[in-house]
Amino acid sequence: MKVYDGKDVRNIGVVGHGDCGKTSLVAGFLYTGGATTRLTRVDEGNTVTDFDEEEQARKITISSALAYLEWNKAKLNLIDTPGYNIFIQDTKSALAAADAALVLVDAVSGVEVQTEKVWNFAEEFHLPRAILINKMDRERASLERALGSIHEMFGRTATPIHLPIGEERDFRGVVDLIRMKAYTYQPEGNGRGTEGAIPGKMADAAEKAHEALVEMIAEGNDALMEEFFDKGTLTPEHFVEGLREAIRQGRISPVLCASALRNMGTDLALDFLAAHLPSPADRGTAEGKSADGSPVTRKIADSEPLSLFVFKTVADPFAGRVTYFKVMSGVLKNDAAVYNYTRSAAERFAHIGVLLGKTITPVTEIRAGDIGAVAKLKETLTGDSLGDKGTPITYPPVVLPTPAIAYALEPKSRQDEDRMSAAIHRILEEDQSLRFYRDPQTKEFLLAGSGQQHVEVIVSRLKKRYGVEVALKSPKIPYRETIRGKADVQGRHKKQTGGHGQFGDCKIKMEPLPRGGNFEFENDIFGGAIPRTFIPAVEKGILEAAERGHLAGYPVVDFRVTLYDGSYHEVDSSEIAFKLAGRKAFRAAMEQAKPALLEPIMNVEIHAPAEFSGDLMGDMNGRRGRIIGMDMKGNTQIIKAQAPMAEMLAYANDLTSMTQGRGSYSMEFAFYEFVPAPIAEKVIAAAKAARAGEAEEEE
């Protein structure tokens, strides 16, 4: 495998809404470029970049994958990314390694909700963008309509450099407005078009589109604008240089046309990617932080000290942990000793290579700006920065939103329970948008992800990869109990047996604390009414009783206990006796102190097209939610609300129904609040029934 300089590398994120044809386009690129020997198809489950079992079964991209090809003396690293909302965060992580984005738009559907989201991801990383209108051969395909939706969403910078020859079933080629030539194709051919003159009936349209392109190129450059006004056009050299500069600066987002399924237009798209999108060297520098946390800039060049950024980890059941990285500066040699700045650990990069789907092709070295992979690193995970130990630089990891929904995992056997945590932690290494934890109150294992399908995919992987079977359940709501009033009670434990008896006696006052106050214990004993050694036992007894709850078995929080009096027996008093006295005092106090139920309230942020905002707000009010703010970003309405967790467990599916799959949301814990009395009664009754059922089973 040839080693490429950074100036000859193109790192391109292929992004877009689900089902717009990203994986099919990458398959067409690889076949046209000679990287594969036949045109693979998503529906046949044999594409290079959808190699995971779950992807092949569901026929969608779940996780980003890499492939490369060589075209016109350039190496193109293509990153095929997910387009469905619940897997879209992996797209954001992958774009950290890209130097440009190719945004696919369906010629029938136009710009869809995830198209806008991935466009914003690219903007966040300051990536130049090109747009490819795919599926020009589909029924109801229309360049005019697709281009209209692109202009409406992304503005006039989206400028065609291709015009389709025919549409729908009649699509047979592309007019290249840079060369002013026409290229026609055989359906499902080798992707190489036959060059010819522009059809006569398209000549005027092509001329006008070419003039519009020239004008857009000249618009942001004074020298080119002067040439344009003087000559009415640009020289071929100035035209090409001006186009490259305008793309790098984001003044133009070129619009291409193709049919990935029939492999028509892929050669022209490859010509464009290789000739006009920026290389890592064109981007110049990378921003990071030095060892003391101060900002530092590193030039993307072989002559600089070695530094790498890890943007993805794959847990392969056979190869172990496979690490995807981008060489930000310097040259990585095979078998090099590299220092992990993030984890303060040394790593050896044995058997480095470049990726074609799941296949790693060995190379001797990888230069600045290129992307590679290595297996079996010991400490390194996604988001880590590595390099020469003496010249540390850490690159910013991609920040992903917290998962929106959690499910309880119930292992199907004791053997599954023993292996579950280890298997899930392997999966967590490759999917940074997941969270796995045990609820300290309900004792359930919870797996949180972007949506129900996301969690279902992980459960399926657990079974197929690691032989771990679990059942999915909705999590228990972590209610809390508290008090609204005050109490002054006595707790007395007295038990006489044949030998020593048990005696403990305490008097306490109980009062509520503000939300979040948890628990306070004050010792107000004077004169030795209770010996000092027994006072911690009283506190322990109260805490143990509070953990078991009073109304419905949920922990009691936000209260203060003051121990102010009591009595003891020289012989019969003990720690256990005072602990039991503390429990009795707590129970008596709860009877007096107006106990109440608390529920978790969540901060919810919903993103959806503006036309659905009325339905969404009405639905949120029906969930006992409160709208606390609204904002607009483009055509997307952002609704900020607070709602009880109990009302949000099935929200993901409901949101999909209300917005035709175009809405998304995030949710995180905000605070606890009193449960309304009618709902509290139902929760308490259900908890008592559940405990009664458990007691019957034990008998």
What's the CATH number where 619 sits? 3.30.70.240
The last residue of one of the domains, among 452, 473, 494, is 473
Whether residue 656 is found in the same domain as residue 520: no
Secondary structure class of 425 (helix, strand, coil): helix
**Terminal Cα distance for the chain, rounded:** 70
Whether residue 626 is found in the same domain as residue 564: no
What's the CA angle centered on 141, arms 137 and 147, to 5 degrees?
Answer: 120
Residue 1 within a domain: no
Choose among 134, 125, 124, 75: nearest CA to 103: 134
Residue 301 within a domain: yes
pLDDT at 112: 84
> What is the domain-level CATH number for residue 317?
2.40.30.10
CB contact set of 230 (below 8 Å; sequence gap of 6+) = none
pLDDT at 34: 93
Whether residue 150 is found in the same domain as residue 93: yes
CB 561 within 8 A of CB 508: yes
d(CA 139, CA 77): 32
Residue 148 within a domain: yes
pLDDT at 693: 65
pTM across the whole model: 0.77
State which H helix or E strand residue 80 sits in: strand 74-80
Whether residue 241 is found in the same domain as residue 382: no
Q: Report the DSSP pairing between strands 345-349 and 307-316.
A: unpaired
Give the total number of structural domains in the chain. 5
From residue 239, alpha-carbon distances to 10, 174, 246 in Å are 21, 20, 10
From residue 606, alpha-carbon distances to 93, 130, 166, 627, 639 in Å are 21, 28, 40, 11, 5
Whether residue 71 is found in the same domain as residue 218: yes
Mutual orientation of helices 535-548 and 575-592 as an angle, nearest 10°?
A: 50
Whether residue 195 is found in the same domain as residue 232: yes
Residue 67 within a domain: yes
Whether residue 370 is found in the same domain as residue 444: no
Backbone angles phi, psi at 683, to 5 degrees: -65, -45
Whether residue 586 is found in the same domain as residue 644: no
From residue 67, alpha-carbon distances to 25, 78, 172, 518, 586 in Å are 12, 5, 27, 53, 65
Residues of the chain with pLDDT under 70: 402, 404, 440-441, 498-499, 634-635, 693-699
The last residue of one of the domains, among 473, 491, 525, is 473
Torsion over CA: 216, 217, 222, 223 (sign): negative
Residue 3 within a domain: no
Backbone angles phi, psi at 681, to 5 degrees: -60, -40
Whether residue 47 is found in the same domain as residue 85: yes
> What is the domain-level CATH number for residue 444?
3.30.70.870
Residue 616 within a domain: yes
Whether residue 217 is found in the same domain as residue 69: yes
Q: Report the DSSP pairing between strands 559-567 and 502-512.
A: antiparallel
Q: Which two tokens stand for residue 41?
A: 């198809």
Percent helix, strand, coil in the chain (nearest 5)?
A: 35, 30, 35
d(CA 694, CA 699): 9
d(CA 89, CA 83): 9
d(CA 346, CA 339): 4
The last residue of one of the domains, among 330, 352, 387, is 387
pLDDT at 694: 60
Neighbours of 514 (CB within 10 A): 6
d(CA 55, CA 107): 24
pLDDT at 699: 47
pLDDT at 116: 86
Residue 584 within a domain: yes
d(CA 261, CA 139): 13
Whether residue 235 is found in the same domain as residue 267: yes
pLDDT at 500: 76
* Structural domain range at position 416: 405-473
Residue 399 within a domain: no
Q: Which residues in 625-640 are b (16+ Cβ under 10 Å) and which e?
A: bebeeeeeeeebbebe
Edge-first strand order for the sheet with 181-184 is 162-165, 173-176, 181-184, 194-196
CB contact set of 507 (below 8 Å; sequence gap of 6+) = 488, 489, 490, 491, 563, 564, 565, 566, 585
Whether residue 557 is found in the same domain as residue 651: no
